[in-house]
């Protein structure tokens, strides 16, 4: 069964339907890999093996009757800890929530189960889903399978690590500051941040939260571009509140290969530099598209000031994140802001002010954001997609110091830790879809991923471009040491 470890979810589903492997048999195979490899990674932090075995037996029995539940029939799957799965804890890495057991499944979990998955565990996250790393006091630290001294990304770091190590067939994360895409990049897998609102997030929440947060989305993570499309189609579509008048009807891609795309290349940015190695990967992908007959443009940019737009995004982001704090922690932040000197314009002070922004400040930033959205809309009248970095460097070493003490080394230059959200924010800020795909390991043997940004509701097009690049060689590679025997 060694060939199953790193196959895509769609390939696994096909093997099941062809009776090449049983659902229970495949589940036991992945559980054995979890037992063998997870201790060094700490990627999967909640196991629900017995219920999964019952579900897998039922899937086998259904298949024997000629029933196929959906496109993921029998595929073993894990999911980010922040999704509610009935009978399992949802803590968001918070010690005060360690006894919170979900009373019912999230809507997306219901839809995934209806598509046939066998859900057998949950994957690790950072505290409050708010870090590029994935560690917390409830479950500990998750390591990158390419180098356990390095981070797997966050906040969907456990999901990316489990996929890369071949411990699961499919997963789903969430993204407000790159939390699907930076782990995909750091671990060498695929991740899709969908158009805002396309995949309803109901049930991806702690108790009492029913309103969808601004910026935040849920989305699939996988070992192939095709699996991302399956995940979007399965989890997408309006929730019951909107279903009377809305329907799920994404435009299908018109391109039939790399040569049909017109792509803008955003390889680097003053004030938010990426490493020369990362920039060279963007250039290599651009050459691949151009060599296939596609059109690439290194100068084209949407008509807005990227630095100003990033400031708007930060206001929206930090205000949204600040609302997730406990009343006590939020009150402490307000007191700290009141004590700041007006002339203190440091990054830390500015972030703190935005975490407790007034409603007026938020509305002004939202209006400015809407100008930016219209600029993107006009830009995508002429271009199919933008290819850009998602982070400045490959995975860095674990760093559990206070946020203000952390930096990221970019070609010898110590850059601000939170500066890294610039690249993720390009898509998040304007509600756009963004697909991360792997380009292979770099000089230190660590994966480098890039993002494809597309027009609003152009999700299938960005995923399709990732698929064509996959065929051209930019595909998942298994990390060394996780052999499939």
Read off the pLDDT of residues 290-324 as tens digits, 9 standing for 90 and up. 999 999 999 999 999 999 999 999 999 999 999 98
pLDDT tens digit string along 371-391?
999 999 999 999 999 999 999
- pLDDT band, very low/low/confident/very high, at 485 (cuts 50, 70, 90): low
By percentage, how much of the chain surpasses pLDDT 70? 100
Summarize the confidence of residues 422-434 as an average pLDDT: 98
**C-alpha to C-alpha distance for 29 and 120, rounded to whole angstroms:** 12
Q: Domain-by-domain residue ranges, the chain?
A: 2-256, 306-371
What average pLDDT does the structure give for the chain? Answer: 97
pLDDT of residue 326: 84
pLDDT tens digit string along 68-82?
999 999 999 999 999
**C-alpha to C-alpha distance for 101 and 209, rounded to whole angstroms:** 15
- pLDDT band, very low/low/confident/very high, at 1 (cuts 50, 70, 90): confident
Would you state the structure tokens that stand for residue 455, as one six-digit string? 């027009």
- pLDDT band, very low/low/confident/very high, at 136 (cuts 50, 70, 90): very high
List the one residue out of 43, 37, 160 whose CA is nearest residue 449. 160
Summarize the confidence of residues 38-44 as an average pLDDT: 98
Alpha helices in 42-189 (DSSP H): 49-64, 107-114, 157-164, 181-187
Residue 215's φ and ψ, nearest 5 degrees, are: 75, -40
pLDDT of residue 187: 99
pLDDT of residue 25: 98
CATH homologous superfamily of 2-256: Amidase signature (AS) domain (3.90.1300.10)
pLDDT of residue 330: 93
Would you please indicate which residues are annotated as catalytic (active-site) residues?
Answer: 80, 155, 179
pLDDT of residue 366: 98
Summarize the confidence of residues 179-190 as an average pLDDT: 99
pLDDT of residue 484: 65
- What does the DSSP 8-state code read for residue 298? S
3-state secondary structure of 15: helix
User: Angle at the Cα of 216 (from 378 to 44), degrees rounded to 5?
Assistant: 130
**C-alpha to C-alpha distance for 413 and 222, rounded to whole angstroms:** 33
Summarize the confidence of residues 249-264 as an average pLDDT: 98
pLDDT tens digit string along 195-208?
999 999 999 999 99
- pLDDT band, very low/low/confident/very high, at 28 (cuts 50, 70, 90): very high
Over 90: is that where the pLDDT of 2 sits?
Answer: no
Summarize the confidence of residues 259-275 as an average pLDDT: 98
User: Are 424 and 306 spatial neighbours (Cβ–Cβ below 8 Å)?
Assistant: no
pLDDT of residue 347: 84
């Amino acid at each position: 069964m060694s060939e199953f470890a790193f196959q895509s979810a769609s390939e696994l589903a096909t093997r099941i339907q062809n009776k090449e492997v049983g659902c229970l048999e495949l589940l036991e195979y992945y559980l054995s890999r979890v037992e063998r490899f997870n201790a060094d990674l700490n990627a999967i932090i909640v196991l629900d093996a017995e219920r999964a075995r019952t579900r897998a037996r039922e899937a086998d029995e259904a298949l024997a009757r000629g029933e196929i539940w959906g496109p993921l029939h029998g595929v073993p799957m894990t999911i980010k800890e922040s999704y509610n799965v009935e009978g399992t804890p949802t803590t968001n890495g918070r010690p005060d929530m360690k006894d919170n057991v979900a009373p019912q499944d999230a809507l997306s979990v219901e839809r995934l189960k209806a598509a046939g998955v066998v859900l057998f565990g949950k994957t690790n996250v950072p505290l409050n889903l708010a870090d590029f790393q994935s560690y917390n006091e409830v479950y500990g630290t998750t390591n990158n399978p390419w180098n356990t001294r390095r981070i797997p990304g966050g906040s969907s770091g456990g999901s990316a690590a489990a996929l890369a190590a071949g411990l699961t067939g499919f997963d789903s994360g969430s993204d407000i500051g790159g939390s699907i895409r930076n782990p995909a990049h750091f671990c060498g897998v695929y991740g899709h941040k969908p158009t805002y609102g396309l995949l309803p997030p109901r049930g991806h929440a702690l108790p009492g939260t029913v309103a969808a947060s601004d910026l935040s989305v849920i989305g699939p993570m996988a070992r192939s571009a095709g699996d991302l499309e399956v995940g979007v189609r399965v989890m997408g579509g309006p929730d019951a509140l909107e279903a009377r008048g809305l329907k799920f009807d994404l435009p299908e891609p018109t391109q039939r290969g790399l040569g049909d795309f017109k792509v803008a290349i955003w390889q680097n940015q003053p004030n938010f530099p990426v490493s020369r190695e990362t920039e060279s990967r963007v250039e290599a992908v651009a050459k691949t598209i151009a060599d296939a007959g596609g059109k690439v443009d290194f100068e084209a940019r949407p008509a807005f000031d990227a630095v100003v737009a990033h400031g708007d995004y930060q206001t929206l982001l930090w205000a949204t994140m600040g609302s997730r704090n406990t009343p006590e922690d939020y009150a402490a932040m307000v007191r700290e802001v009141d004590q700041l000197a007006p002339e203190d314009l440091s990054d830390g002070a500015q972030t703190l002010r935005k975490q407790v922004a007034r409603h007026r400040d938020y509305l002004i930033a939202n209006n400015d954001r809407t100008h930016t959205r219209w600029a993107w809309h006009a830009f995508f009248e002429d271009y199919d997609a933008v290819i850009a970095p998602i982070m400045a460097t490959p995975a860095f070493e674990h760093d559990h110091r206070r946020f203000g003490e952390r930096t990221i080394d970019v070609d010898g230059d110590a850059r601000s830790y939170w500066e890294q959200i610039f690249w993720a924010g390009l898509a998040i800020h304007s509600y756009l879809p963004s697909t991360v795909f792997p380009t292979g390991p770099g000089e230190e043997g660590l994966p480098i991923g890039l993002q494809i940004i597309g027009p609003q509701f152009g999700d299938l097009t960005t995923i399709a471009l990732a698929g064509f690049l996959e065929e051209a060689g930019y595909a998942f590679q298994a990390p060394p040491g996780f052999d499939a025997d």
